[in-house]
Amino acid sequence: MKKFNKIFTIIVFVFLYAPIVLLIIASFSGGRGLNDLRDFSFHQYRELFRDRGLMQSMLNSLLIAVLSSLIATVLGTMAAVGIHSMGKKMRSVVMSVTNIPMINPDIVTGISLALLFVFFGRMFRINNIMGVFTILIAHITFNLPYVILSVMPKLRQLNKHLTEAALDLGCPPAKAFFKVVLPEIMPSIISGGLMAFTMSLDDFVISYFVSGATFETLPVQIYTYTKKPLPGRIYALFAVLFTLILLVMLLMNLLQLRETQRRNRKLVMPTNDL
Amino acid sequence: MHNNKARFLAAPYLLWMAMFIIVPLAVVLFFALTDPSTGQFTLGNLSRMGNHLQTFGDSIWLALVATVVCLFVGYPVAYAISKASDSQQRLLVMLLMLPMCMSFLLRTIAWVAMLEDTGLINRLFNAIGFGPFRLIRTPGAVVLGMVYNYLPYMILPLHSVLAKLDKHLIESAQDLGCNSKNVLAKVILPLSLPGIIAGVTMVFVPAVSTFYISQKLGSSGTRLIGDVIEEQFKQAYNPNLGAALSLVLMILIFLCMWIMNRFTDSDEVLLV
């Protein structure tokens, strides 16, 4: 049984990675398309870095991901602290609204925002309202729940008496928050922000409905490419992105590992002293 | 006193969500209930739902099949991962999250190439003397695409529940004479129900509303509701009909969620 489970897991991982491996191999191929792999070359990579359009939309995606996750992290953390101190009834109403974009299919979220922007456009007579701002607003909106749902549980675990002690000792509430609460919830703020960043970087469906010709993110541009036979430089792009994300993930993993090691050492230390 | 002031920190967020979640849904309702040419109130868009009943049915059916496959494939994998050592678990979870961060458009295109009549899989079949089979542009290919794209969304919540499972409960069940089959059925499965519910939701919702997977891997016979909605906005340009379809889809999903949450005691839905 145990052995079966292990082999089955390996097969599933092969299934998950087969298309990725194929795309990466294709990025080094001189042939035409994914079924014509031959003549090893770096040609596709040279083409990729020469493609101004692709480079521009990659920068656009990064800009939107950084801005939207930063804004969502600040707004969301404030919101989580606020929601935490609400009464039970009020809190459950707000959390239900927070859950709407999580439960709603992306296509419905995208369309509802697109219709809102169209509505705005008609009201204020703005032609071509879809652009950088509509994408930014949409990304902040779907990022906010990730931050809130990441920070809320940590706030609930927080020792209430610590804040009370700080206040009793004459610390003003705002300072107590920054000195006592914030350092404690920082890890979940960061992980919520990182989650928001990756969600934003990878989002296609919502961006697709709220973007116009003036400002395209990378996934939206890739979608336009996939309507025709794909040029080889797209495979090179995929390989570059894969390497970058792999590096970021390994780095995060390493940081996490060191964090737990440090914590374990701290826990062990006092007993050693005895 | 401090609490009363802290509440106002949520004010910007509440304003934002009212503006960009509640109002947009009201706008969807408005578009769904107005005529595209005259702008007058009408139930015409909603009454045209009848034409799309088949599409709704197909979407729900294919998404359901994909969800069930994900559950049966994902559960043993999540269980195996939760049994590994801490550092291995971290690595495996990372390997599950990595594909989720990569463009699903391009990964789906890779499947198109592999499933083609002269693609990798048919060439493999050919080499051992079978085929070629017709793989692409079938309902099966669409289900495969859904399973491939959303399987990690099933495994991750299952794993997070299984990894936190109190081992003493399993041990005590064994001590009390429970065999391994019963331990699974009476202890592990019921305790992992929140993970199952979260996983099923996270697979079913995107699968039932997808338009890209069916566009690339399906045929005209497997047009899903997401395809129809997308066309209303990007090609046919009838946002009113599209809004009506989205409204029905949304109500359908919230209904499913409500029914599913009846099955669990906890009122908290576990996400991510």
Query: Residue A109 burial by CB count (10 A; 0-12/13-18/19+): exposed, middle or buried?
Result: buried
B119: in domain: yes
Q: Is B120 on the interface with A (CB under 8 A)?
A: yes
Domain that holds residue B146: 53-262
CB-nearest partner of A85 from B7, B109, B152: B7
B136: in domain: yes
Nearest to A141 by CA among B15, B207, B200: B15
Task: Encode chain A (274 residues) as per-residue pLDDT tens digits.
Answer: 578 888 999 999 999 999 999 999 999 988 777 887 888 889 899 999 999 999 999 999 999 999 999 999 999 999 999 999 888 899 999 998 999 998 899 999 999 999 999 989 988 888 888 999 999 999 999 999 999 999 998 898 888 888 889 889 988 888 888 888 898 899 889 889 988 998 999 899 999 999 988 899 999 999 999 988 889 999 999 999 999 999 988 888 888 788 778 777 766 655 444 4
Place of tokens 């090691």: A261
A103 within 8 A of B205, measured Cβ to Cβ = yes
A84 within 8 A of A155, measured Cβ to Cβ = yes
Q: Which of residues 232-261 of A touch B (CB under 8 A)?
A: 234-235, 238, 241-242, 245-246, 249-250, 253, 256-257
Contact assignment for A111 to B114 by CB distance below 8 Å: no
CB-nearest partner of B8 from A82, A94, A250: A82
Give the pLDDT of residue A141. Answer: 97
Distance CA B96, CA A16 (A): 8
Contacts of B55 (CB under 8 A, 6+ apart): B223, B224, B225, B228
Number of structural domains (chain B) is 1
Radius of gyration of chain B (CA): 23
Chain A hits for B145, Cβ within 8 Å: none
Give the pLDDT of residue A273. Answer: 44
CB pairs under 8 A between A and B: 226
B114: in domain: yes
Chain segment A58-110, per-residue pLDDT in tens: 999 999 999 999 999 999 999 999 999 888 899 999 998 999 998 899 999 99
3-state SS track over A5-34:
HHHHHHHHHHHHHHHHHHHHHHHCCCCCCC
Task: Encode chain B (272 residues) as per-residue pLDDT tens digits.
Answer: 345 678 888 999 999 999 999 999 999 999 999 988 888 888 888 888 888 999 999 999 999 999 999 999 999 999 999 999 888 898 999 999 999 989 999 999 999 999 998 888 888 888 888 877 888 899 999 999 999 999 999 999 999 999 988 888 888 888 888 888 888 888 888 889 889 999 999 999 999 999 999 999 998 888 999 999 999 998 887 889 999 999 999 999 988 888 877 776 554 444 43
Which neighbouring-strand residues pair with B41?
A: B34
CB-nearest partner of A111 from B96, B114, B233: B233
Number of other CB atoms surrounding residue B153 within 10 Å:
24
CB-nearest partner of A19 from B110, B118, B250: B110
Contacts of B103 (CB under 8 A, 6+ apart): A202, A204, A218, A219, A222, A238, A241
| Residue B76, phi then psi, degrees to nearest 5 | -60, -35
**What letter would DSSP give residue A125?**
T
Give the pLDDT of residue B260. Answer: 79
Q: Which of residues 40-99 of B touch A (CB under 8 A)?
A: 73, 76-77, 79-81, 83, 87, 90-91, 94-99
Copy the structure tokens of residue B26: 């009201």
Task: Give the domains, in start order, of chain A with CATH numbers.
Answer: 61-225 (1.10.3720.10)
CATH number of the domain at B162, please: 1.10.3720.10
Place of tokens 């050492």: A265
